[in-house]
Amino acid sequence: MAFTSVKQLLATAKEQNLPLWEIILDEDVKDRGTGREDSLRQMNALWSAMKSAGVSYRAEARSKSGLVGGDGGKMEEYAKTGNGIVSGFFSEVIAQALQMGECNACMKRIVAAPTAGSCGVLPAVLIPFAKANKIEDRQIISALFVAAGFGQIIASRASISGAEGGCQAEIGSASAMAAAAVVSLKGGTPEMCANACAMALMNLLGLVCDPVAGLVEIPCVKRNVVGAVNAISCADMSLAGIGSAIPPDEVIDAMREVGDMMPAALKETGTGGLAATPAGITAAKRIHGNI
């Protein structure tokens, strides 16, 4: 896509007097040399895949390593008791994020949004939101274009790779995308979408990538929960009229700079952070057959 800054995206939407998703859809059509219907069809396919992953979850499934599985089921059952600190929509978001992350670890079909390690954030926000508010698929697809637009700008100005920028580039980007998407669903302005994106990203600035045994399991799955909850909080703040003190493009640039300064041990190598703890090392040795 042609957009390399949030400022440019917002200016184009204002100039053409079109909703953000329409601007982003048009750019996708131009960039890929395809038709409008094809672009919509592809986004619909992604949304269908997200929903399918959500219903295909099985609490008894475990990842090959044995590190992941069942927590999404536990959270879902706990939510049903009504004894949780949060309930309803919020508890569904937590359960869905866990379940989607576990589906990825158990090698089920998921949508990288923007990456496999952060695949649970967008669906964890959008699936329960659509259910709670009886939102039609066409509206969700529009919101996914909004998410994609902001995600593309983050990718072009910074990174969406944990190996390059740490987990801030994966869960942080996914959270920013989800925040913008849900603001758009609530009828927020393009500026509100941008503010939600910026706040969500800045809240997770500096998040390292430290997978135990080099697998996208621990702490990745539970970080999807953090990303989803953060997105909802930032969306509500933006809808309340709270803005980002730092412009979105500057937040994205800051994320790139933080990622560049981050030591290699904290960028997907599995040699720092939680991966380097005694429990992490023991798990890695067991999984890789060294003991």
pLDDT tens string 91-115: 999 999 999 999 999 999 999 999 9
Looking at the whole model, is its pTM more than 0.85?
yes
Say what the pLDDT of residue 233 is.
Answer: 98
Q: Taking a C-beta distance cutoff of 8 angstroms, is the pair 126, 2 a contact? A: no
Say what the pLDDT of residue 291 is.
Answer: 41
Q: CA-to-CA distance for 177 and 151, rounded, in angstroms?
A: 6
Q: CA-to-CA distance for 148 and 4, rounded, in angstroms?
A: 13
Domain ranges of the chain: 6-288
Geometric angle at alpha carbon 117, from 97 and 172, rounded to 5°: 80
* Predicted confidence (pLDDT) per residue in 202-225, tens digit: 999 999 999 999 999 999 999 999
* Predicted confidence (pLDDT) per residue in 140-151, tens digit: 999 999 999 999
Residue % of the chain over a pLDDT of 90: 97
Q: Taking a C-beta distance cutoff of 8 angstroms, is the pair 190, 142 a contact? A: no
Say what the pLDDT of residue 254 is.
Answer: 98
> Tokens 């750019």 appear where?
27
Q: Which amino acid is at 177?
A: M
Say what the pLDDT of residue 247 is.
Answer: 98
Say what the pLDDT of residue 260 is.
Answer: 98
- Tell me the CA distances in angstroms from 139 to 130, 144, 176, 185, 289, one per residue in order: 9, 9, 19, 7, 48
Q: Closest Cα partner for 118 from 152, 166, 73?
A: 166
pLDDT band at 1 (very low <50, low <70, confident <90, very high): low
pLDDT at 290 over 70: no
* Predicted confidence (pLDDT) per residue in 30-45, tens digit: 999 999 999 999 999 9
Q: What is the chain's mean pLDDT, rounded?
A: 96
Q: CA-to-CA distance for 115 and 119, rounded, in angstroms?
A: 6
* Predicted confidence (pLDDT) per residue in 184-207, tens digit: 999 999 999 999 999 999 999 999
Say what the pLDDT of residue 2 is.
Answer: 77
Say what the pLDDT of residue 289 is.
Answer: 83
Q: Taking a C-beta distance cutoff of 8 angstroms, is the pair 229, 123 a contact? A: no
Mean pLDDT within 4-28: 96
